[in-house]
Structure 1
C-alpha cells in the first residue's frame, strides 16, 4: 500500500506541517492532456488559444520527464514550475516564459476543479516571469496614407486590399475576425460589420463612410470572381484556397503592401493600437474605444494606448490651454 503514496517528511521535522499532505499519487499528466483539450473545445476556446495551452502542457510534461521530476498530477510542486520557467526564459525569452506561466496556471486550476489534483496549485502568483516593457509602435497618418497609395488602382487585389486596410484603420478589428467575415456580415446602409470574437461571441463594429465605399467597390469587382458564390467575404486570386483569404493571407498581404509603401513590420496588431490611439485623440471615451475594438475590460484600452498618452495630453492642452483663455 505504501508504494502508492507520495513520500512525506517525517513527523519529527518541525516544518512537516507546512508541506503538502500525504496524498495518493495522481494520474499521469500525459493521460490528462487530451481530456483538457476536449474541455477547452467544449468551452468554445479559439483554436489558437487551445493550441497554445496544449503545446505548453506537452512541453512541461516532457521537461518534467527529462529532468527526473514527478510527472503525475499530484506530484508536481512549485519548485518544478519555477525551474521549468527559468529554463524557458533562458532558452527563449521572458515573454515566452510568461505565456507558459499563464497556460500552466489555467491547466492546474482545471486539474484541481476536476479533482485530479487534491491540493493547491504549484503555479504561484509570485512566480510570474517579469517581462521587460517594450515601446509599442503605431502607424502614423503619413504611413497609413502610404499604405492606401500602394493599393491605388481598379484591379481586384487593389480594391480588396484597400477595403481591408480601411476597416483596420477604422476599428482595429482582430485579423481572425476580419478574415472569417462572410458576405452576410455586412450592413453597409448601417455602416457596420459583424465579426466573431474569441469564444464565438458576435459583435457589430462601426465603419466610416470611406471604408463603406471601399467595401462597395470591392463587392462590385468581387461579383466577377470565379469563386463569387463563396460565402466568405474576402477571396484570393491564386492557389487552391481562392474561395477564402485566411488570416495568414491577410497578414501576407499587409506585409507585401507595407514593403511597397516603404514601411517595415506592417501587421494586423499594429492597426489595433493605432485605431485605439486615434479614437482617443479624436475625443472618444475609454468606454467607446472598449466597445469599438471589442475589448471586455477598459484595462485593455490603457494597455494598448498608454505609450502615446503624453502626446494626447499635449494635444488636448494645446486645444484647451487655460492660460490661452486669458
Structure 2
C-alpha cells in the first residue's frame, strides 16, 4: 500500500530516531502519538501533504482531544472492531493535560526535524505553546511509614529480603527501578560506596552513591543471596532470572496495602530527591545522581516541596536568626 507524503516522512523520522539510539520507549511514544495525529489530519481535514499542515490544525487537534476524550482517535479504523475501545471503562474519559502536552511535544519534535531536513517552507509548530498544567504535590513518605513498609517483607525468605533491600537502595540512591533491577554484583564499589549504573534511561552510564547503613545491609544481603542464587544479577528471581519491573511493583504495592500506604517505586525515587534537598543537597548534584538531562529538569520536578517542609528549611536559614538580632 502506497504511503502518503506525511506517512513517508514519519517513517523517515523514526529511522532517524533509531539511528540516534533512542530508547524503545521514546520511539514507541513518537510513533504512537504521531500516527494518531496523522490519522486525525486525514480523517478530519483530508490532509496528507506536509506543506498543508498549519498551526491551526495542531490547535484544533488539542481541542479535539480535550472534547472527545480517550480512545476516540484511532490510527486504523478497523482497530475499533478488533480492540473495541468503546468497551473500555475509560473510553471518552478526559485526556489529561500532561498527556496532551506529551503529544504536542512529540508533534513539535517531528516538525522541527522536518524543518532541519529542509522539507518545510513554513514550520507550523513555531508558535504552538503547551497547555498550562497544575502541578500535583508529590506525596512524601516519612521515616515511620518507610520503616513500617520495610517490616512488611518476610526477611526469612529470599524474595522477601531481596524486596526489602531493593526498597532501601531505591530510597538511598534515587535510582529508577529499571536501573536497579538490571544491576550486577560487580557494579558495586564498597570502597568508595558507589554503584555504576549502566542500563539507564538516557543510555549514559553514571554513578550513584550509598550510605554506610546501606553498605552494611548490602554485604549481609550478598551473603544471603549466595545461598539461594547463582547469578551475577544483584536482585534476581529465585530462578536466577531478571526480576521484572511489573513483578516488583506488584509486590511493593501489596506490602504497602498491608499498612494502608499507596506506594510505587517512582515515589521512593521522588522521596529520595525530596529528602536530599531538605537535608541541604543542591540541585546540580541531585541532577547528576538522578541522571536527568539537565538541572532545569530536576528543578521543575522537585520545586514543589510542601509549605511545612519549606517552613522548616527557612527556620534553619533565617538571616535574622543567624545574625542574632536583639529586640
Query: In 1, distance between residues paired with 2:317 and 2:6?
Result: 60
Whether 1:273 and 2:270 are equivalent positions in the alignment is yes
**Given the two structures, how large is their TM-score scaled by the length of structure 1?**
0.81
Which of 92, 96, 101 is equivalent to 1:93? Answer: 96
User: In the alignment, which of 274, 290, 294 is matched to residue 293 of structure 1?
Assistant: 290
The one-character-per-residue Cα deviations of 1:121-148 (angstroms, maximum 9, x if unpaired) are: 2224443222232222122222211211
Rounded to whole Å, the distance in 2 between the matches of 1:95 and 1:317 is 31
Distance 2:4 2:43 in 1: 18
Equivalent residue in structure 1 for 2:26, among 45, 49, 60? 49
Return the offset for 1:172. 1.6
Find 2:111's aligned residue among 108, 111, 124.
108
Look up the match of 1:170.
172
* Aligned mates of 2:234, 2:46 — CA distance in 1: 50
Q: 2:215 maps to which residue?
A: 212
2: CA distance, partners of 1:188 / 1:69: 62
CA-CA distance at 1:55 after TM superposition: 0.6
State whether structure 2 residue 37 is matched by structure 1 residue 36.
Answer: no
CA distance in 1, matches of 2:258, 2:12: 47
What is the Cα deviation at residue 208 of structure 1? 1.2
Instruction: Assess, with a 3 A threshold, how the Cα gap between structure 1 residues 29 and 179 changes in structure 2: closer, same or farther.
Output: farther
Q: Provide the rounded CA distance (Å) in 2 between the counterparts of 1:216 and 1:312.
A: 34
In structure 2, relative to structure 1, the CA distance for the partners of 1:323 and 1:194 (3 Å cut) is closer
- 1:67 alignment partner, one of 44, 54, 61: 44
Residue 40 (structure 1) shift: 1.5
Shift of 1:323: 4.4
Q: 1:236 maps to what in 2?
A: 237
Structure 2 contact 137–306 (Cα < 8 Å) conserved:
no
1:188-209 Cα shifts (integer Å, max 9, x gaps)? 3321112133231000100112
Q: 1:203 to 1:184 in 2, by over 3 A?
A: same
CA distance 1:202–1:256, change in 2 (3 Å): same
Q: Could you tell me which residue of structure 2 aligns to residue 255 of structure 1? A: 253
Q: Output aligned runs, 1:150-229, within 5 Å.
A: 150-196=152-198, 197-225=200-228, 228-229=230-231
Q: Runs (4+) of structure 1 moved beyond 3 Å?
A: 124-127, 309-313, 316-326
Which deviates further from its counterpart, 252-261 or 40-49?
252-261
Q: Cα RMSD between the aligned structures?
A: 2.4
Q: Structure 2: which 5+ runs fail to align?
A: 70-94
**Largest Rg, 1 or 2:** 1
Assess if the C-alpha contact under 8 Å between 1:27 and 1:73 holds in 2. no
CA distance in 1: counterparts of 2:26 and 2:176, whole angstroms: 14
Distance 1:163 1:108, change over 3 A: same
The count of corresponding residues between Structure 1 and Structure 2 is 294
Partner of 1:130: 132
Gaps of 5+ in 1: 1-25
Q: How does 1:293-312 map to 2 (within 5 A)?
A: 293-308=290-305, 310-312=307-309
State the alpha-carbon separation in 2 of the partners of residues 32 and 320 from structure 1.
Answer: 55
Partner of 1:11: none
SS at 2:137's partner residue?
A: coil
User: Which one is further off, 120-129 or 104-113?
Assistant: 120-129
